[in-house]
Amino acid sequence: MSDTSTKSQVWVAFGHAGAVGSIHRTADGYGVRMLNDAEFRGVYPSLAVAQSALHSHMLPGSDLPEYHEH
């Protein structure tokens, strides 16, 4: 018997006041979703680019968030 389950990868971004968004690994790259978004704001080719994109969607002057894989 083989295991055909797929492990999804999600990174939650935490800012000063708590969770602000997440990055989801997809078949096309890394999707960025802010906390209350229903859809991805974009899909990016690498995790590093997705992290930069997520930060760019935060309020101006926000510190870089911390990312925790879940």
pLDDT in tens, 21-37: 999 999 999 999 999 99
* Closest listed residue to residue 65, CA positions, set 25, 10, 11, 15: 15
Query: How do 29-34 and 18-26 pair as beta strands?
Result: antiparallel
- pTM equals 0.87
- Residue type for 55, please? H
pLDDT score for 8:
85
